Copies of this chain bind each other. A is one copy, B any other.
């Protein structure tokens, strides 16, 4: 056993081996396959992003290619290819081939491939890595090429991207090798190069990723040198925006642009695992503490500020103006999934689950064709999903995550199977020793906490099955073949050590009451406020369900919360019903501040729905955090 595998014990079971057939995720995956991917293609066509690869753009002639368009197209190709692996679709495959051939056709003789710097600013290749997403686009093209190879078995796109990676590898690297010590202002290529290494076995790609991560934040700053070479003031933008203010091992706080941070941390986790690098993993853990314990919304969203789409400071988590970009929540899922593989610590699975069920899927409408870029935790009624964006990074990020959702459910290690997420479905799991386990999950999760797991090895197999006990769960029971057992819990997982017989059945009953949550007192915006959560789902209240505007509500401490199954709402949700005090604001007319005085109110019914589901019916105000009635003086 190498040092590497010692550090990273678990391997995800690929989504190709995990078939979901539940009532929550499977319909979302189907909408994604049948509608979303095609709608995205149409948007990419209509905006000109796909046809930009024809390299026919001339000034004052048609839409000018944006420097990040390549990445939007690439992420769509990746999502579509990932979908084709499990769900062949001739129409989608034809679109993919058209796009892939266009991309390949745009490659320059020297291997370079970037639309913007080929037709818009052809003289400026590699002159501004900080601002122009050039290596970021390259990274997404590499991820797309790997997905295309895995879906089709054909190497044309992969080979083209290897040529591009070789071009980049020849250009960037240690100064002592005569190369430029550059890295991208928007991280992404680092994790893509690790994927390319796995797809090709070419260790140079791993080393280039390692170089870019290690060089980041070293002085003199590459971005400063570059700016000086452009005759620009290098100090105009703080290096923390790009997570390049310090060498990555010295970074202890999550700073700057939230999506960039996530992609960097993903690459750091990848490299820590590949190289068995404990100090890089320790840096990831410190950064994780910063995000998860001080800079994250209840929804798993991150990045508090619209300006710079960035982290701000500890406990600064405004609700109305929350940025919480969809891509950043997707990044949280990517990163926590990677962190989870090291020692199977449930704290990562908790955040992964929190992001998936809340801040990620809030990003897409029920019909699968409209998106949130920002996912605030309160709205006065003007925030709505859009069919597309000038900067359209989020839609295809959602799609590639939904297609591959199965990979988040299980991991394996030597003699161990970890169940991270509870989603009804079937999996055919290849254990490291070559044995195969068939696993069937039956559950209505997240609507209730009953899970039935049937484990079917080909022959009796000794194995530890690790069942995640979610952080939100305060009581649970486990039975094997009907017999209640007391399983030891390690890092948030109940460990069932036994020799599994075909058809062995485990039942896990997770108590799933309505929980009334509060925030750390330092989150000033949530002082005196509570939020509702049930299971992994954060709830919110929307105007459409209440007799008065949600901003007039306060919650007494004595509410008896109840759940209500609403099969007719958005193809089925479970709402939370209770009561609230409705504040009479008549006395507040034309008054913004006043001496504390009793307020008139009446008790009314309250209905909360899962946060992800808001803004899918009548437009109106919404809030996750509600004031406690005790924080007012009542008449």
Which residues of A approach B to under 8 Å, CB–CB? 289, 292-294, 296, 298, 305-307, 312-314, 316, 318-321, 378, 380, 474, 515-525, 527-531, 551-552, 554, 557, 583, 585, 588, 590-597, 599, 623, 625, 627-628, 630-633
Contact = CB atoms under 8 A, between A and B. Distances in A.
A519 B313 contact: no
A521 B316 contact: no
Given A312-B321, A596-B518, A527 B627 contact: yes
14 contacts: A293-B591, A293-B592, A314-B380, A319-B524, A474-B595, A516-B596, A521-B552, A522-B585, A525-B525, A527-B627, A528-B628, A528-B630, A530-B596, A630-B630
A590 B314 contact: no
A593 B529 contact: no
A524 B378 contact: yes
A551 B522 contact: yes
Nearest to A295: B592
A500 B623 CA distance: 60
Closest 10 CB pairs of A and B: A528-B528, A528-B631, A631-B631, A307-B307, A527-B627, A630-B630, A518-B596, A293-B590, A516-B596, A515-B595
A294 B631 contact: no
Contacts of A524: 319-320, 378, 525, 551, 623, 625
A70 B380 CA distance: 41
A521 B588 contact: yes
Given A289-B590, A307-B306, A380-B313, A595 B517 contact: yes
A341 B623 CA distance: 42
A521 B593 contact: no
B551 A521 contact: yes
A594 B627 contact: no
A306 B304 CA distance: 13
Contacts of A380: 313-314
A307 B312 CA distance: 13
Given A320-B316, A628-B528, A631-B631, A583 B521 contact: yes
Count copies of this chain in the complex.
2
Given A521-B583, A552-B521, A583-B521, A631 B593 contact: no
Contacts of A593: 298, 517-520, 531
A550 to B, nearest CB: 10
Contacts of A527: 527-529, 627, 631
A200 to B, nearest CB: 41
A474 B321 CA distance: 36
Of A519, A528, A583, the most chain B CB neighbours within 10 A belong to: A528
A593 B623 CA distance: 17
B530 A529 contact: no
A524 B318 CA distance: 10
A554 B623 CA distance: 24
A319 B554 CA distance: 21
Contacts of A321: 305, 312, 316, 318
Nearest to A588: B520
Contacts of A519: 592-593
A305 B380 CA distance: 17
B594 A318 contact: no
Contact of A596 (B296, B517, B590): B517
A316 B518 CA distance: 22
A314 B382 CA distance: 12
Nearest to A380: B313
A149 B519 CA distance: 59
A623 B517 CA distance: 24
A401 to B, nearest CB: 23
A28 to B, nearest CB: 25
Nearest to A552: B521
A474 B595 CA distance: 10
A523 B595 contact: no
Nearest to A293: B590
A519 B599 CA distance: 12
A320 B524 CA distance: 9
A524 B551 CA distance: 8
Nearest to A557: B633
A523 B554 CA distance: 13
Contacts of A474: 595
A353 B354 CA distance: 48
Of A296, A520, A554, A599, the most chain B CB neighbours within 10 A belong to: A520
Of A316, A318, A592, A633, the most chain B CB neighbours within 10 A belong to: A592
Contacts of A319: 524
Contacts of A520: 585, 588, 591-593
A528 B306 contact: no
Contacts of A313: 380
A594 B525 contact: no
